[in-house]
Amino acid sequence: MAEAVKSEQQQTAAQHFEKSRLLLVGVGGMGLNAVDTLQQNSSAFADIVAIDCDQDVLGSCQAPRRVLIGSRLTQGHSTGGDSSLGRRAANGDFPQLRELFTKTDLVVLLVGLGGGLGSGAAPVIANTARDEGALVITVATLPFAFEGGDRMKLAEEVIPTLRESGHGLVLMPNEDISEVSESGVSLSDALQQGAQELSKGFQLLWTLLGQRNLINLDFISLKNMLEHTNGACRLVYVEASGPNKAKLLVKRLEDHPALKSAEVLKDSSAFLLGVLGSQDMTLIDVSTVAGAVEQRTSDQAFRVVGAGIDPAGGSRMRALLLIGAAGEKGTEVKVAPSRELVERKPLKPVRPAVTKPAGRKQTAQEELDLPSVVSKGRFKNVEPTIVQGEDLDLPTFVRRGMKLSR
């Protein structure tokens, strides 16, 4: 009986993935590093694309599809930290980017803020995907403190625009990523662990969206939750196993660096909790995890909960928490409308209508008084070029008796 249920759920998920499409898009250096890690864990459930303007960096990426943008502006090199150049690079290749998002249901955009291409191009790419009808979640890392104030300032400046461009923005400070990792690990290993957390989190989310669950979760619920976060949220993924796995899962949620401040949950206006477990997961297990999150959030918070069985998940119990970042509720963001992020040009040039000022007398244009014969100067003694009876050395308007206006 268990095998029959497992087979039916796998078939249902497979049919969904054939009809729907999750696209993981890495933009810029940090984004490409992330998709390289995701490629090892996510290729079975998502399409992966890498976007950059540096031809050498893009060529070394392991993503199955790589898109070079801005080659006319950068000649295949980096932006040198110039975000305006990154924005122009994306706008210049807008048709190529738009084609990526045709028939895509969910786009997860991975980008590191503080650099030129990521900070400049990411809002344009997110907006393009949204205009094509995809649900867009941007996952953005913030610079380490040791990277300097200029990079952090640039990152902070682009955050409001990114929030407006897509449906949701997940902020992941690199300092938090390093705290998730065990002490003493290398920088590359710490970043790799952060990317793996992302991969597992979105794989859990996509599984819940793609199968029939104990508590169903769909795209509309996800979109509604993101709209209630005012565009900015945090992502937390944890897992546990063993006889007390539900309680251990709650403990790991509480200890996660993204939730280290109690106000993150208390002040949030919305959250989404997704839980996946093995066949032995009970209703009490789900209630334990969901109850722990609800107790720490406001009664007025918009909440979405999904829970299901993952036959391929072994004995683990896994949880994904998307929650509005503390202090974001009610924050007013003043940015240009999203349609202005992409510099679209009309297919054909349109000439504006010329209106005549009222009360002004219209006068006829004067004709230039040009001689019927034009002097050839020092070529006056040169034999003329005669073709079919016409002297081609004379200007056309003279040969044909045309009158020119002033």
Same domain, 32 and 169: yes
Same domain, 66 and 155: yes
Q: What is the pLDDT of residues 227-262, one digit of tens each?
A: 888 667 888 999 999 889 999 999 999 888 777 766
pLDDT at 277 over 50: yes
> Is 166 part of a structural domain of the chain?
yes
Q: What is the pLDDT of residues 102-142, one digit of tens each?
A: 889 999 999 989 888 999 999 999 999 999 999 999 999 88
Same domain, 193 and 96: yes
pLDDT of residue 315: 83
pTM of the complete model: 0.71
pLDDT at 89 over 80: yes
Same domain, 195 and 63: yes
Same domain, 50 and 88: yes
pLDDT of residue 184: 61
> Is 382 part of a structural domain of the chain?
yes
Top-confidence residue, 121 or 147: 121
> Is 356 part of a structural domain of the chain?
no
20 band by pLDDT with thresholds 50, 70 and 90? low
- Of 304, 325, 341, the last residue of a domain is 341
Q: What is the pLDDT of residues 157-186, one digit of tens each?
A: 999 999 889 998 988 877 666 555 555 667
Report the alpha-carbon distance of residue 125 to residue 86 in Å, rounded: 11
Kindly write down the DSSP assignment for every residue of 35-73, as one continuous string: HHHHHHHHTTT-EEEEEES-HHHHHT---SEEEE--HHH
**CB neighbourhood size of 327 (10 A):** 13
pLDDT at 318 over 90: yes
Same domain, 279 and 173: no
14 band by pLDDT with thresholds 50, 70 and 90? very low
With pLDDT > 70 as the criterion, what percentage of the chain qualifies? 69
Q: Please tell me the total count of domains within the chain.
A: 3
pLDDT at 357 over 80: no
Q: What is the pLDDT of residues 321-346, one digit of tens each?
A: 998 865 443 333 333 333 334 443 33
The residue to which tokens 């998502």 are assigned: 46
Query: Which residues span the domain enclosing 245?
Result: 231-341
What is the CA 108 to chain-centroid distance, rounded?
6
Report the alpha-carbon distance of residue 31 to residue 121 in Å, rounded: 12
With pLDDT > 90 as the criterion, what percentage of the chain qualifies? 30
> Is 351 part of a structural domain of the chain?
no
CATH number of the structural domain spanning residue 148: 3.40.50.1440
Same domain, 141 and 278: no
